[in-house]
Amino acid sequence: MIKINFLKLIICLLTIFWVNTQSLADFNRGAEAYKKGDYSTAFKEFLVSANNDDADAQFNLGYMYEDGLGVSQNYKQAAELYRKAAERGHVEAQSNLAGMYQNGLGVVHDSKQAAKWYMKAAKQGYAVAQYNIGVLHDNGQGVSQDYKQAAMWYQKAAEQGYEQAQYYLGTLHQYGLGFDQDNIKALLYFNLSASNGLEIAIKDQQSIMKKMTIIQILKAKAMAIGYKQRLASSQGLFVKR
């Protein structure tokens, strides 16, 4: 009896291995087709992997349904696929599902559900979700309005180089929300965000400098250089002064 059960176990493991190997092959073919712009083939290959509970494939299909790539645009299908991947811990799917709830695409608009899924992704270190949960705290949507919480999540995303988070962190310092009012720190974050090309940051950068002394402006610039050097060092990059 023990030998029979052992044989069954071996057969089961080999079956799982074959299914996973086949699923990976389908996924890789889908990825290659997607890179070439052959969305129809990519969709078909991802579908096979998604049906075998591959979270990456489920996420990719969701994205294709959301944007109408290789298939008719269908927000409901996108949300369902994002949910399947999100429930398996897929961080981008968690963030995108939150966005669907935030914007009422394929699901009923629900800020609390948006906050729930952004938080799951944010806790995994995903900068986009960290920024968005910061926005929800900033505006009191789906969570209590809490500028300190907003600042904390903006900071986490900013430290990954996320320019929108850097900008909004600057506005909190500028208006004394969650921090003591501080134009130097506000300009620091506007400088960082502006250097990444965010137009509104460039505008506010120029505006706030009119209210500051040369010494304050130079201090903010030096702080921004130091910040970028620390960020680059953590990523193994070089920074131009």
Contact by Cβ (8 Å): 157, 151: no
How far is residue 58's CA from residue 35's CA, in Å, rounded to a whole number? Answer: 17
Which sign, positive or negative, has the C-alpha torsion 13, 16, 20, 26?
Answer: positive
Residue by residue, pLDDT tens for the chain (241 residues) are 344 454 454 444 344 444 455 545 567 887 888 888 899 998 999 999 999 999 999 999 999 999 999 999 999 999 999 999 999 999 999 999 999 999 999 999 999 999 999 999 999 999 999 999 999 999 999 999 999 999 999 999 999 999 999 999 999 999 999 999 999 999 999 999 999 899 999 999 999 999 999 999 999 999 999 998 888 776 654 444 3
The token duo for 111 is 């800020």
3-class secondary structure per residue, 37-100: CCHHHHHHHHHHHHHCCCHHHHHHHHHHHHHCCCCCCCHHHHHHHHHHHHCCCCHHHHHHHHHH
Predicted TM-score of the model (pTM)? 0.84
3-state helix, strand, coil in the chain (%, to 5): 75, 0, 25
